[in-house]
Amino acid sequence: MSKRIIIVLLGLTILFLPVSLFAITAQEIVREMDAQATFETSYATGSIKTVDRFGTKESTFKAWSRGTTDSLIEFTSIAERGQKILRTKGSLYLFYPDAEELIRMQGAALRQSVLGSDLSYEDMTEEKTTLDDYDVTLDGSETVRGRDCHILILTAKTRQVAYPVQKIWVDKETFLTWKGEYATNHGRLLKKMEVLDTLVIDGRTLPKETRIEDAMKSNSATWMMLDTLEVNIPLESNLFTLENLTW
Amino acid sequence: MVKKSLFLSLLLSIALTLSAAENPVVEMQLLNTINYTPATEQWSQTMAPAMSLSISSGRSGNVQGEVVLKTPNVNLLTTAPAPAIYDDILHKAYFKARFPSFRLTAGKTRLSWGDGMLFNAGDVLYGSNDTSVTLTQAELRSETGLLVSLNYPLGFFSFAEVTVLPSPDNQIEHMGGGARIYTTVQDTKVEAGYLTSYESERLHKPYISLQGNIGPDWYLSSSVAIPQRGDIGEETLDSLVITGGLYHIQYLKNLSLRLEFLTRPAGNWKAESQSDDDCPLLLYQELVYTPSSSLSWSLRTIISVMDLSLNATLGVNWAVLEGFSLLGFLSSPFGEENDLFSWKGKVPSPYGPTDARIALTLGASWIF
């Protein structure tokens, strides 16, 4: 009798062993998601289009990035020409050329709107070190825009992040984040994001057109579009410094 | 006659440089104001067109420059001498050159030392310790001046800056100059500097400015102006200014708040009418409500605590079309006669004390 039980248990163990061995964990998904979105270096041009009930506003930009933490954005549209945003290792600096003013932002200030759009500084310059700042759990699967996605719940470990709770839908094959809902600790929705179009660079699927909606603003949405993207290109060593920011 | 030839020469220079400019940017503003002056019980109306023209060389390469011309303020046209008007028109004219280990800036431009939108004790170059500002302007402090500066990087997020200021009266012994260091210690930005300048007497102005985050961002700055001669101890104590503030304070429904203070420990701490020079405690608040991407409401208030007077401006900015905005402002001082902000007396302004007025301003701005 006991032999039979042992055999049954062994059988069950063997049956389920491959599933437990090969099931991807939430941490591995996030790690792969960050890795897919991170390049040694990149250079992009694009635009931010904000539409609300009063009309449309469009701003254009150039953006550079290096690794997981460094990014620099320079606005090229007339009204904002020369304004720059530098993000590196948790700090964010703004430079306003008209006033020759350098402003440093931290913490919740990163949630502030960029040029009145639905995009925040955090959205535009997000660091790709998610697991350093968030605990993550897997919350099932769902299909988004025809793609099978993992649903992940990210809960902040620190107060120094813009969004305390994130619910994101990550493509099971390409690890692209197709959709996101960003909320406070109390569950109040702050922002929604959805990828509308993609491009493939270096074998990786990346967002080309993203729609962002600030839940605090009524009848407003912002589209962020990339016109060009080059990756793993040589960049000047002083690109992500205050010296270059204020140039 | 002098003023007319000044305008003609400037118009000519605009016409000549526009053709060579890579990216000229024009900002036009037309504001129509209806004023009521309680002291005289009179109504008046003014329409003030304003324009700025920015011609820049572009931001690539190792040398760049910019010229910004502005229409002069109407108050200056009637009262100020020609050089002052010329100075107001030529807002910026400078070049920057980047060398392998340092950067040179020369011409008429602005250096932003210290922190603070209205009150900034660290701004020893231009002074940001008074209430002589126009609350309807987006930038409360935008003064520029002639200078030569060298910026030397001390790492990715630190630098040292040395500046030389020309003599205000062509006497070589009245030249000015100073230096500052900008760095980060753990999570706090630390900036310290010193400026010596001649303002009817030689003054030495050290300052320190700190900035960090405790949920909202914060800053704290302090400076003194030490005279070369006279009662150095007393005058130094009198000049001590401390400013600070909290900003990027975000509330529900797109409400953001900025709070600043200025204190002079040796100021007049009596609960009586105050003057801008020795007012011991001033507060500034800016509340901005942004219900949509193109519409924002703001309430800016400067409060003189000891005489309980204040200057308030309610503003609305509606970005109707690309680069085109409709603007509206309602401004008024509140205070007794002789208070810093008086209902029936004079109030501080960038062009000297003016009659207190309730003003309703409507207009538009266009940038292209």
Contact list in B for residue A218 (CB cut-off 8 A) is 291-292
Tell me the per-residue pLDDT of B279-336, one tens digit each, with 9 for 90 and over.
Answer: 999 999 999 998 877 889 999 999 999 999 999 999 999 988 878 999 999 999 999 8
Tell if the CB–CB gap between B182 and A242 is shorter than 8 Å. yes
Q: B6 pLDDT exceeds 50? A: no
Tell if the CB–CB gap between B59 and A74 is shorter than 8 Å. yes
Count up the domains in chain B and report the number: 1
The answer to whether position A163 is within a domain reads yes
Determine the pLDDT at residue B304. 96
The answer to whether position A13 is within a domain reads no
The boundaries of the domain holding residue A169 are 23-245
Tell if the CB–CB gap between B153 and A243 is shorter than 8 Å. yes
The answer to whether position A64 is within a domain reads yes
Residue pair A228/A74 in contact by the 8 Å Cβ criterion: no
Q: How far apart are CA B107 and CA B68, in angstroms?
A: 12
The answer to whether position A139 is within a domain reads yes
Determine the pLDDT at residue B16. 47
pLDDT in tens for each of the 247 residues of chain A? 456 666 655 555 555 544 444 578 999 999 999 999 889 999 999 999 988 877 788 899 999 999 888 999 999 998 888 899 998 876 789 999 888 889 888 776 777 788 878 888 877 777 777 898 899 999 999 999 999 999 999 999 987 777 899 999 999 999 999 999 999 888 889 899 999 999 999 899 999 999 999 887 777 899 999 999 999 999 988 899 998 899 8
The answer to whether position A15 is within a domain reads no
Contact list in A for residue B296 (CB cut-off 8 A) is 116
Q: B277 pLDDT exceeds 80? A: yes
Tell if the CB–CB gap between A243 and B159 is shorter than 8 Å. yes
Residue among A52, A216, A241 minimizing CB distance to B156: A241
**The domain spanning residue B231 has which CATH number?**
2.40.160.100
Q: Which two tokens stand for residue B203?
A: 């003054």
The boundaries of the domain holding residue B123 are 2-367
Q: B219 pLDDT exceeds 90? A: yes
Q: B13 pLDDT exceeds 70? A: no
Range ranked top by mean pLDDT from A200-204, B115-119, B337-341: B115-119
Three-state SS sequence of chain A: CHHHHHHHHHHHHHHHHHHHHHCCCHHHHHHHHHHHHCCCEEEEEEEEEEEECCEEEEEEEEEEEECCCEEEEEECCHHHCCCEEEEECCEEEEEECCCCEEEEECHHHHHCECCCCCCEHHHHHCCCCHHHHEEEEEEEEEEECCEEEEEEEEEECCCCCCCCEEEEEEECCCCCEEEEEEECCCCCEEEEEEEEEEEEECCEEEEEEEEEEECCCCCEEEEEEEEEEEECCCCCCCCCCHHHHCC
The answer to whether position A14 is within a domain reads no
Distance (Å) of CA B189 to CA A112, B35, B183, B184, B209 = 20, 44, 6, 4, 8
The answer to whether position A56 is within a domain reads yes
Q: What are phi and psi of A218, to 5 degrees?
A: -90, 145
Q: Which of B108-112, B220-224, B258-262, B270-274 shows the lowest mean pLDDT across its residues?
A: B270-274
Q: Which two tokens stand for residue B193?
A: 């500097």
pLDDT band of residue B237 (cuts 50, 70, 90) is very high
Count up the domains in chain A and report the number: 1
**The domain spanning residue A145 has which CATH number?**
2.50.20.10
Determine the pLDDT at residue B1. 46
Higher pLDDT, A150 or B230: A150
Tell me the per-residue pLDDT of B147-168, one tens digit each, with 9 for 90 and over.
Answer: 999 999 998 889 999 999 999 9
Q: Which chain B residue has the Cα nearest residue A101?
A: B112
Determine the pLDDT at residue B181. 97
pLDDT band of residue B251 (cuts 50, 70, 90) is low
* Locus of tokens 């720059």: A84
Q: Closest approach of chain A CAs to the CA of B312, in angstroms?
A: 24
Determine the pLDDT at residue B319. 86
Contact list in A for residue B152 (CB cut-off 8 A) is none
The answer to whether position A209 is within a domain reads yes
Determine the pLDDT at residue A88. 84
